[in-house]
Homo-oligomer: A and B are copies of this chain.
Amino acid sequence: MNTIETCLTPEMLRHHDLTNKTVVVIDIFRATSCIVTALAHGVQSIIPVGTIAEAKLLQNKGYLTAAERQGSKVEGFDLDNSPFSYLKPELKGKTIGLTTSNGTQAIRAAQEAGAYEVLIGAFLNITVLQEYLQKRSQSVCLLCAGWKGKVNLEDTFFAGAVLNMLAPTFTTINDDCTLAQATYLQGASNPVRFLEQSAHYHRLETLGNQDDITFCLQKGIYQNIPHLKGDKLINL
């Protein structure tokens, strides 16, 4: 039986051997939700980078670039980290450079740690993602992006939702999975109310991003799974 494990923050990645594993990167509020949305609406590819400096380099090369820190757009860049910014028809076919506080670093960390495959997970594509993981017959690591190295509620909750469906057909190999699944089960009956307890939920709400939260919590509205190919995220 294939195994499934959860990594609650990229800081704990050193405890995980990603060789031959499919890694699902999770940053619900909002990087992975944005990436799924963008590629669902015709953006051709996204180049995730860890730092503002790398994003600047991409901009200098002529790419459209998006940069977010502390929940807000970084001055001088073209786009922010709101899924609504990626619905515009003029972005169709484009390649966009993206750096965010946590998600893009987690994607790079998974790649550097030798993952066999890096996928992008969000509530927006959870249904197709679960189906893919079940058919794929490969061991899985659910990598929560967290917040600046810390654990966060929404990414753990999402990992728990995936686990809740996949656990019967995988062997769970670390206690983080039990924590994530318990977190999901506690909040599943009313996710919005449950996730109101999240520190980042409050941060986004204060910044006036309540609509983003509601958007990101829609389940299975998109059928695409972005994956990393070289330095670019494209649809599978």
Q: Using Cβ atoms and an 8 Å threshold, which residues of chain B touch A147?
A: 175
Of all chain B residues, the one with the shortest Cβ separation from A175 is: B153
Count copies of this chain in the complex: 2
With A and B bound together, what is the CA distance between A198 and B182 in angstroms?
A: 13
Q: Using Cβ atoms and an 8 Å threshold, which residues of chain B touch A151?
A: 8, 12, 174-176, 179
Q: Using Cβ atoms and an 8 Å threshold, which residues of chain B touch A187?
A: 182
Question: Are A149 and B15 in contact (CB-based, < 8 A)?
Answer: yes
- Contact indicator per residue, chain A 177-192, by CB within 8 Å of chain B (1) or not (0): 0111111011100000
Q: Give the residue among A172, A175, A198 with the most B Cβ atoms within 10 A.
A: A175
Q: A179 with B179: in contact, given A8-B8, A149-B15, A150-B15 (CB under 8 Å)?
A: yes
Of all chain B residues, the one with the shortest Cβ separation from A154 is: B175
In the complex, A11 has a CB within 8 A of chain B: yes
With A and B bound together, what is the CA distance between A11 and B176 in angstroms?
A: 15
With A and B bound together, what is the CA distance between A185 and B167 in angstroms?
A: 20
With A and B bound together, what is the CA distance between A197 and B171 in angstroms?
A: 11
In the complex, A199 has a CB within 8 A of chain B: yes
Q: Is the interface of A mostly helix, strand, loop or mixed?
A: helix
With A and B bound together, what is the CA distance between A197 and B179 in angstroms?
A: 11
CB distance from A32 to the nearest CB of B (A): 17
Q: A179 with B150: in contact, given A11-B11, A12-B11, A199-B174 (CB under 8 Å)?
A: no
Q: How large is the interface on A (under 10, 10 to 19, 20 to 34, 35 or more residues)?
A: 20 to 34
Question: Are A174 and B150 in contact (CB-based, < 8 A)?
Answer: yes
In the complex, A156 has a CB within 8 A of chain B: yes
Question: Are A175 and B156 in contact (CB-based, < 8 A)?
Answer: yes
**Top 8 nearest A-B pairs by Cβ distance?**
A182-B186, A153-B175, A182-B183, A182-B182, A152-B175, A178-B197, A153-B178, A15-B150
Q: Using CB atoms and an 8 Å cutoff, list the residues of chain A in contact with chain B.
A: 8-9, 11-12, 15, 147-153, 156, 172, 174-176, 178-183, 185-187, 197-199
A11-B11, A181-B186 provided; 15 other pairs, C-beta below 8 A?
A8-B8, A8-B179, A11-B12, A12-B149, A15-B148, A147-B175, A151-B174, A151-B175, A151-B179, A156-B175, A175-B197, A175-B199, A179-B179, A182-B182, A182-B186
Q: List 9 A-B contacts (CB under 8 A).
A: A8-B8, A8-B179, A11-B12, A12-B151, A15-B148, A153-B175, A178-B198, A179-B183, A181-B186
